[in-house]
Amino acid sequence: MSNLSNHTGEINIAHPELWTLHLALHKRVLRYMLFNREQDNSLIAGEIPLDSSAGSYLKSVENAVYDNSALLDDYGEVRLLVDTRHFVLLPPDVSDDSEADTLLRAQYPDMDGDTALCELPVSGVKLAFELPPELLGFLQRTFNMAPIVHHLQPLCDYYARFCQRSSVRRMFLNFHDEQMDMVVFEHDRLQLANTFDVRTHTDAAFMALHAWESLGMDVHSDELQLTGDKSIRDQVSAELRRYINYVMPAIFPAAAMHLSHDAMRAPFNLITLALCE
Return the pLDDT at 7: 47
Whether residue 219 is predicted with pLDDT greater than 80 in this model: the reply is yes
Whether residue 31 is predicted with pLDDT greater than 60 in this model: the reply is yes
Whether residue 23 is predicted with pLDDT greater than 90 in this model: the reply is yes
Return the pLDDT at 2: 34
Whether residue 224 is predicted with pLDDT greater than 60 in this model: the reply is yes
Asked if 209 contacts 188 with a C-beta cutoff of 8 angstroms, the reply is no
Render pLDDT for 151-206 as a digit per residue (tens, 0 to 9).
999 999 999 988 887 889 999 999 998 999 999 999 878 999 999 999 899 999 99
Whether residue 6 is predicted with pLDDT greater than 60 in this model: the reply is no
**CA-CA distance, 266 to 242, in Å (whole number)?**
30
Cα 118 from chain centre? 13
Nearest one of 27, 59, 29 to 195, comparing CA atoms: 27
Nearest one of 111, 116, 81 to 97, comparing CA atoms: 116
Whether residue 3 is predicted with pLDDT greater than 70 in this model: the reply is no
**CA-CA distance, 103 to 105, in Å (whole number)?**
6
Render pLDDT for 109-126 as a digit per residue (tens, 0 to 9).
999 999 999 999 989 999
The average pLDDT across 223-245 equals 95
Return the pLDDT at 261: 77
Whether residue 254 is predicted with pLDDT greater than 50 in this model: the reply is yes
Q: Quick one: what percent of the chain has pLDDT higher than 90?
A: 72
Return the pLDDT at 10: 65
The 3 state secondary structure assigned to 230-269 is HHHHHHHHHHHCCCCCEEEECCCCHHHHHCCCCHHHCCHH
- Measured at the CA of 161, the angle between CA 156 and CA 162, to 5 degrees, comes to 95
Return the pLDDT at 223: 96
Render pLDDT for 66-91 as a digit per residue (tens, 0 to 9).
999 899 999 999 999 999 999 999 99
Nearest one of 156, 172, 189 to 223, comparing CA atoms: 172
Relative to beta strand 246-249, strand 223-228 is parallel
Render pLDDT for 42-66 as a digit per residue (tens, 0 to 9).
899 999 999 999 999 999 999 999 9
CB proximity list for 89: less than 8 A, separation 6 or greater: 125, 126, 127, 190, 193
The 3 state secondary structure assigned to 38-70 is CCCCCCEEEEEECCCCCCCHHHHHHHHHHCCHH
Question: Which pLDDT band holds residue 266 (cuts at 50, 70, 90)?
Answer: confident
Return the pLDDT at 79: 96
Averaged pLDDT score across all residues of the chain: 91
Q: How far is CA 160 from CA 7, 42, 76, 85, in A?
A: 34, 27, 27, 21
**CA-CA distance, 154 to 70, in Å (whole number)?**
24
Return the pLDDT at 1: 27
Return the pLDDT at 59: 97
Return the pLDDT at 233: 94
**CA-CA distance, 16 to 78, in Å (whole number)?**
11
Return the pLDDT at 5: 46
Q: Cβ–Cβ contacts within 10 Å for residue 53, how many?
A: 7
